[in-house]
Amino acid sequence: MTVATETPAPTPRAPKRRTVRDVVFVEGVRTPFGKARPDGLYAETRADDLMVKVVRELLRRHPELPPERIDEVAIAATTQQGDQGLTLGRTVGVLAGLPQSVPGFAIDRMCAGAMTAVTTTAAGIATGTADITIAGGVEHMGRHPMGFDADVNPRFVSERLVDAQALNMGVTAENLHDKFPHLTKERADAYAVDSQAKYAKALANGDVGPELVPVAIRSAELGWGLATADELPRPSTTAEGIKDLKTPFRPGGRVTAGNASPLTDGATGCVLAAGDVAEELGLPVRMRMVSSAFAGVAPEIMGFGPVPATDRALAHAGLTIDDIGLFEINEAFAVQVLSFLDHYGIADDDPRVNPYGGAIAVGHPLASSGVRLMTQLARQFEQHPEVRYGITTMCVGLGQGGTVIWENPHHADYSGHTSADGEN
């Protein structure tokens, strides 16, 4: 008689525990920004081709980065149709010549699309599910105006979830002027003039330009050309020259083409990596991500979104606004920036704010702008080793804000990754 014996149950295998890793910003580039109109730089150039050029430039600048080591490509667009549709992260990766093993996806958080591509893939790096990612965004507003062909649910208005005009970003800027009457049109105009002047100075000093990738362009009428410079800045802007411009969003309003960002075409992209992987491959570390946050506000005052987002990001980092030495704030509208500065007691002309000017001068290709802010902050960190922390922040359509806090690796007390074993 054979006695049956029980097979011992297998010992449960404990899952691998991951530690949070440093996420570092390796490189950021962008196309020159063009006017979103029929005679603009990119009127006859595809949006996805703009993004392909950015990805190829990132790889060209870093031959030490094996393309097969890229774990994810996340590309944002606000209007995901036509040449901005079809899962941009994957299609752009294939078109750019990345190995077919490299996956990709698309993101939409309106103006904060590229910022969200960065924070989303950074989370994967931090938790060990990715080592290196490419994140960016593109917007061809000449072909795809914001909200074009969108079928907005009528319940937003019928159930009074938002004001009927809250879907018009210019109206929300006028609402900020109403909410904060001391933020006058004169202050907004003065801020806008200063933005143009700072951009012109940065361009002359060579602070704007190193991040640009030339783009071959074609016109059926003019033939082939090369886009090498931003098309939108108006360096001769004066307060007198813009004070009487039309107020398209409200009769007798305060928001004009002079104190708002222009409609823009362009693309941006960056490489992110784990700190130890950057060291392994010899990749430069331009800054380290400290924290990030997104927050919602009433859609009617969309431009105030950066304030609660910044409060959250500061709380996550254990910092205060006094710890921040450089601010890159997206200038969708001058009053939106002023509401942020006013909330924190920062002067309108504080030199820490947008040292190279901002979107009022250079343009705002919606989903791509977040990485432009980061690329500029990284360069400013190199110039200011005395500054330890900086932020990139922006308002987001439909009542949101996004903020990312970064640490300067050139600062004497930099706390980021310094060795292969992860010790700080």
* Catalytic machinery residues: 111, 364, 395
The count of other CB atoms within 10 Å of the CB of residue 95 is: 17
Report how far residue 305's alpha carbon sits from residue 321's, in angstroms, rounded to the nearest whole number.
16
73, containing H or E segment: strand 72-76
| The two three-digit tokens of residue 355, written as one number | 């040292």
Report how far residue 149's alpha carbon sits from residue 406's, in angstroms, rounded to the nearest whole number.
37
138, containing H or E segment: strand 132-140
Compute CA 78 distance to the chain's CA centroid, rounded to the nearest angstrom: 12
Length of the chain: 424
49, containing H or E segment: helix 47-61
DSSP secondary structure string for all residues of 373-395: HHHHHHHHHHH-TT--EEEEEEE
| Distance in angstroms between the alpha carbons of the first and the last residue of the chain | 66
| The two three-digit tokens of residue 16, written as one number | 């691998």
Is the separation of the CB atoms in 385 and 272 below 8 Å? no
Give me the helix-helix angle, 369-383 and 113-127, nearest 10°: 70
| The two three-digit tokens of residue 259, written as one number | 């104190």
